[in-house]
Amino acid sequence: MASVAARDIKKQFAEVTAVNGVSLEARDGEFVVLLGPSGCGKTTLLRIIAGLEKQTSGDILIGGHVVNDLPPRARGIAMVFQSYGLYPHLTVWNNIAFPLKTQGTARNEIKRKVEWSARLLGIERLLQRKPRQLSGGERQRVALARALVREPTVFLLDEPLSNLDAKLRASARSEIKQFQLTVKTATIYVTHDQVEAMGMGDRIAVMDHGIVKQIGSPTEIYEHPADEYVATFLGTPPMNLVERDGGSLGFRPEAFLPKELLNGSALQEFNFRVDRMEYLGSERILYGDIEGRKAKREVTAKLPAHVALDGITAGAWHPFAVRQRELRYFDGEGRQTIKR
């Protein structure tokens, strides 16, 4: 059991700076999610931590020791790849046993551990199959079992759910989270999917163009985004941003409601013209414009579907409001500031 840390990691490919000074730590037993759009450097960072790529500068620490010069096999890590990287010519049993065989583990010990990890992932009945005979979800479990079997100090997962269909992804998400809580190993999980990040991470590191924009718990990231980038990367629809003196004003669509639904004082009122509505079953998304303020993109309001839309019609202005405490202020550079 140990923590893993990156200190000021930089990675320069010929012309491109993939990672530009990232510091990050996953403490013992912690589940850290690296979240960002494709090409933001998150997978490169993960590969550097694994030892599959060599950083241009900076240190990787595992359990407090600098492991910069250790090959992947000596780092005590296990990694699950996007397309799983199962060995196609080996049975599931041999796939899971492979990391143990490379360590020269005794035969009866291999048997015990393979069976233990297969049981934990519920794949005992698949042990004699070849990877091509497995479904996507089963392959993913085999990859997890193979990662688990070495009892690594750190788990690295690179978008392990992206090859699954939407329904399977939801159940696999909670399974991975449950699994990590059981084994209590420091985990770094790379994804571009904010739902995965919010649902699984103890902490989330939001990355963009090779730098970490913000690290924090899902609540911190969502409620107090460090800048406009984080504010608009998370949330569907993203945070509304409207102009104000010397910066912008942000509020979440679900905080932006018809005035009559909000009681009490300390409200910031806006006149909102609804252009179109989307009914999504549990909620309605209203798209439109705010009177007298320029918005960076179309302003949205998210209303629970059970709220009656009395008097709100497309094209007409309607008084909407946000509670003062739900407002976020950003300065001219897009960083969040204290009010004014």
Partner 1 sequence: MTAIAEFAPRARHRFLFDRAEVLGPLFIAPAILYVLLLVALPFLLAIYYSVSAFTIFDPSYKFVGLKNFFDVIESDIFRRTLANTFIFTIGAQIIGLLLGKFAAMLLMKEFPGRGIARALVVLPWAVPVSLAVLAWQWMFDSLYSVINWTLIAAGLVDATHPPQWLGQQDLAMLAVTVVHAWRLFPFGVVIFIAGFTSVPKDVLDAATVDGAGFWRRNYQIILPIIAPIVVIALIFGTVFTFTDLSVVYLLTKGGPINSTQVLGSLAFQVGILSGDVAHGAVICLFLFPFLLIGVIFMLRALRRREI
Mapped onto helix, strand or coil, the DSSP state of residue 89 is coil
Least distance between partner 1 and beta carbon 12 (Å): 16
Q: Which residue is listed with tokens 């250790």?
A: 70
Residue number, 73 or 294, with CB nearest to partner 1: 73
Q: Does the protein bind partner 1 through residue 69 (CB under 8 A)?
A: no
Q: Among the candidate windows 69-77, 183-191, 204-212, 286-294, which touches partner 1 by CB under 8 A?
A: 69-77
Mapped onto helix, strand or coil, the DSSP state of residue 29 is coil
Window 39-58: contact mask with partner 1 (x via CB under 8 A): --------x--xxx------
- Figure out which of the listed residues 31, 93, 98, 251 binds partner 1, where binding follows CB under 8 A: 98
Nearest-angstrom CA–CA distance, 287 and 253: 10
Nearest-angstrom CA–CA distance, 25 and 154: 12
Q: Does the protein bind partner 1 through residue 136 (CB under 8 A)?
A: no
Q: Does the protein bind partner 1 through residue 199 (CB under 8 A)?
A: no
Q: Does the protein bind partner 1 through residue 103 (CB under 8 A)?
A: yes
Strands 299-304 and 247-251 come out as unpaired
Least distance between partner 1 and beta carbon 134 (Å): 13
Q: Does the protein bind partner 1 through residue 82 (CB under 8 A)?
A: yes
Mapping DSSP onto H, E and C, the string for 238-285 reads CCEEEEECCEEEEECHHHCEEHHHCCCCCEEEEEEEEEEEEECCCEEE
138-153 per-residue burial string, b: 16 or more CB within 10 A, e: under 16: bbbbbbbbbbbbbebb
Distances (CA, A) of 196 to 121, 222, 234, 239: 20, 14, 11, 19
Crossing angle of the two packed helices 136-148 and 166-183, in degrees rounded to 10: 10
Residue number, 118 or 301, with CB nearest to partner 1: 118
Q: Does the protein bind partner 1 through residue 77 (CB under 8 A)?
A: yes
Q: Does the protein bind partner 1 through residue 84 (CB under 8 A)?
A: yes
Residue number, 99 or 201, with CB nearest to partner 1: 99
Output phi, psi for 134, to 5 deg.
Answer: -110, 155
Number of residues that bind partner 1 (CB under 8 A): 27
Window 138-167: contact mask with partner 1 (x via CB under 8 A): --------x---x-----------------
Q: Does the protein bind partner 1 through residue 13 (CB under 8 A)?
A: no
Residue number, 52 or 120, with CB nearest to partner 1: 52
Whether 196 and 157 have beta carbons less than 8 Å apart is answered as no
Residue number, 87 or 305, with CB nearest to partner 1: 87
Query: For the chain, how big is the Rg over CA atoms in Å?
Result: 24
Residue number, 158 or 228, with CB nearest to partner 1: 158
- Residues interacting with partner 1, by CB under 8 A? 47, 50-52, 71-73, 77-79, 81-89, 98-99, 102-103, 130, 132, 146, 150
